[in-house]
Structures are given as C-alpha cells and as structure tokens.
Amino acid sequence: MTKVLVIYTGGTIGMIKDPETGLLNSFDFNTVYEHIPELNRLHTEIDTMSIKKPIDSSEMTSEHWVNLAKLIKKNYHHYDGFVILHGTDTMSYSASALSFMIQGLNKPIIFTGSQLPIGVIRTDGKENLITAIEIAASKDSNGESIIQEVAVYFEYSLYRGNRSSKVSSNQFEAFKSPNYPELAVAGVNIKYKWSALQRSEFSEPIYQFGMSKAVALLKIFPGMDIELYKGLFDVTQTKGIVLETFGSGNAPSIDKMQKIMTRYVEDGGLIINITQCSSGGVKQGAYQTSSFFNKIGVISGTDMTAEAALTKLMFVLGNEEDSDKIKALISMPICGEMEC
C-alpha cells in the first residue's frame, strides 16, 4: 500500500465550530478520521503529523519553511508522497519557497487547504484533502510517482506550486496559475497533463535551507514619490528588490527614480522586474519606458508570480555568495518557476 504523510500547519481547513459558543477553533488533527471517515476508504496508508503550534498562514515565516523542508527531508524515504495542510492566504509563498529548497524531487509535495473549515457542512476542505491525498499517492505504470514536484491542489485543479497565486478570498476557486497550465484536473477521474509535469534528472532531492530576509517587494504606481522609498534602496540593508511594474515591465521615466535605482544596482543591489498584471510577463525593452531597466542591469523576472520571484530571491541570496552566480540563477528557471 502507498504511504502518504499529511502535515498540518494550520489555517481554516483544520477548524471546527464549537457547538456551544459557535466559535471556530482548531481541532486536534490526530482526530481527523472522526471528521473525515472517508479517509479510511482510500487505499492508502495515511500518517498525520501537526506542527507544534498550528498557525494562521499570515504568521508564516521563512523559519517555518525551513522546518517544513527539514521535516520532509527526514521523512522522505518513509513515504510515497506528502500533503501539507496550510492556510490559503500564504500557501503560494510556502509552495514556491519549498520548490526552491527541495529541488529534484521524485515524489509529490501537495499543498492544500480550504475556504471553509472542515467542521462546516458546506466545507470544500474534505474534497481538497481527499483528492490531494489521492494525487500524492498516485503512481504511473512504472510504479513512479506521477507528480514529482511541489504543487497546490484546490477546487478540482492541481497547479505547479511556484506558478500559483491566491486570487480570491471568498470563492472556492481561490487559486490560479496564470502563466502555466494546470498539472491535473479532477473530475470523475483525475486527468494529468503529462507534458506539463516536471521530471528530475537526479535520483535524490537537493536540499538547501538558506533563506535571506534582506529582500523587499515594491509595487510602483502612477505619481509615486520614490523619495519615500529611498531607504529601501540601500544595499547594506536590502540585498534584492522585486519590483512590480506596469504591463510588460514599464515604469515612469522619472529622473529621481532612475538615479536611485542606478546607484542601487551599481552598489550591488539586485532588482527583479515582474509585472503587476495578473497574467503575462515582462519584456524589458519592448517600450521606451522599460529600456532603462535593461541599461542599468535590472533582471527580467519574465512571467514569474510575485510569490515565486520573492521566495526565489530569498533562496538564491540565502545560498549563494558569488554575485555573477546569483544573477545567473535569478535570470534562469531553476525549477519551472518561469519561462526561459
């Protein structure tokens, strides 16, 4: 029988309504079978584990990601797949971070959660959890895991983790993968998009746990006064900035802004240019208003999500020291997070 480890980190999915007070409380995850007896009918051996103090995912930090990655490393050879139950708010950040920290997977790590608590009658949590486990346990005809990467399963769709974004705070369809096809769609059967799936050339995953905190995410807007953000462009404090620009990577040609950014890059700061549009990517130099970025050495983040760009920056800065290597790694896809 295939074995799946379910790791509970917190979030809405693990809550039930206290019948007396009507308040939502986290339930003891070891009693999950009482709430979802259907789990007994899956032909999979399921072990459950909870982090010491389950949290709302707004409280997630890079330390939590490191602990999760280490937990997977410790258990990697004991299970066929992993399901991480996580709050939806920052799930795409965590899935992106783990995809960088554990590369070369040949087993699935599936993140899921829910919009309604598992203890609420109309919950989406049961379907999400049951199908995520089914996907985590699924093997192909050679006996190999079908999914060999970090993914997010939500409302009948499986997405590459570092391509996903939370797009709705109140719809069951809460996630999207704007620039990459779904890895699978769950209907009567689970239909995998074989050509979109990642395959590793390594027999063992490569674990790297460094995550720098000296990063920032800045969204530009019309009429922005860059003076207010000057402190951010100080390389002794901020080693890298993800800049969310307009359309295909454009920014106003304001002299002051250009001077501050030029100085920052000259001092060794990294700027990654991503679009603030909800789909598509950056093409630096397509318009006059983005050609300046090419001139000073801003790195195009092509079609990366903000979640992927930020966690990639944290990851690369946390594990590499050589500045040419850092720039090269940021400019190219390292685990399917961007187009070439």
Judging by DSSP bridges, how do beta strands 150-154 and 109-112 pair with one another? parallel
Residue 116 beta carbon to ligand ASP: minimum distance, rounded to whole angstroms = 9
Task: Count Cα neighbours of 154 within 13 Å in the Cβ-side half-sphere.
Answer: 33
Q: Determine, following the binding rule CB under 6 A, whether residue 125 of this chain makes contact with ligand ASP.
A: no
Q: Determine, following the binding rule CB under 6 A, whether residue 57 of this chain makes contact with ligand ASP.
A: yes
12 is catalytic: yes
Which residue's CB is nearer to ligand ASP, number 2 or number 26?
A: 26
Residue 57 beta carbon to ligand ASP: minimum distance, rounded to whole angstroms = 3
Q: Determine, following the binding rule CB under 6 A, whether residue 113 of this chain makes contact with ligand ASP.
A: yes
- Give the H/E segment covering residue 82: strand 81-85
Query: Pick from 170, 208, 173, 163: which is nearest to 62 by CA?
Result: 208
Which tokens is 66 given?
Answer: 């490191």
User: In the range 139-198, which residues lie near ligand ASP by CB under 6 A?
Assistant: none
Reported in sequence order, the residue ranges of 20-79 that DSSP labels E, i.e. its strands, are: 24-26, 44-50
**Binder to ligand ASP among 3, 16, 44, 56 (CB under 6 A)?**
56
**Binder to ligand ASP among 62, 88, 103, 164 (CB under 6 A)?**
88
Q: How far apart are CA 86 and CA 235, in angstroms?
A: 33
Residue 26 beta carbon to ligand ASP: minimum distance, rounded to whole angstroms = 10
Instruction: Name the closest residue to ligand ASP (Cβ).
Output: 87
Site string for ligand ASP, 12-31 (x = CB under 6 A): x-------------------
Q: How far apart are CA 209 and CA 116, in angstroms?
A: 32
Q: Determine, following the binding rule CB under 6 A, whether residue 250 of this chain makes contact with ligand ASP.
A: no
What sign does the dihedral 294-279-163-222 (CA atoms) show? positive
Q: Determine, following the binding rule CB under 6 A, whether residue 119 of this chain makes contact with ligand ASP.
A: no
Which residue's CB is nearer to ligand ASP, number 88 or number 290?
A: 88
Which residue is catalytic, options 9, 12, 112, 275? Answer: 12
Q: Enter the DSSP assignment of 236.
A: T
Answer for the pair 275, 250: CB distance below 8 angstroms, yes or no.
Answer: no
Which tokens is 89 given?
Answer: 């708010």
Q: Determine, following the binding rule CB under 6 A, whether residue 81 of this chain makes contact with ligand ASP.
A: no
Residue 17 beta carbon to ligand ASP: minimum distance, rounded to whole angstroms = 15
Phi-psi region of 279 (alpha: psi -120 to 50; beta: other; left: phi over 0): beta
Binding interface with ligand ASP (CB under 6 A): 10-12, 56-58, 87-89, 113, 115
- The residues that are catalytic are 12
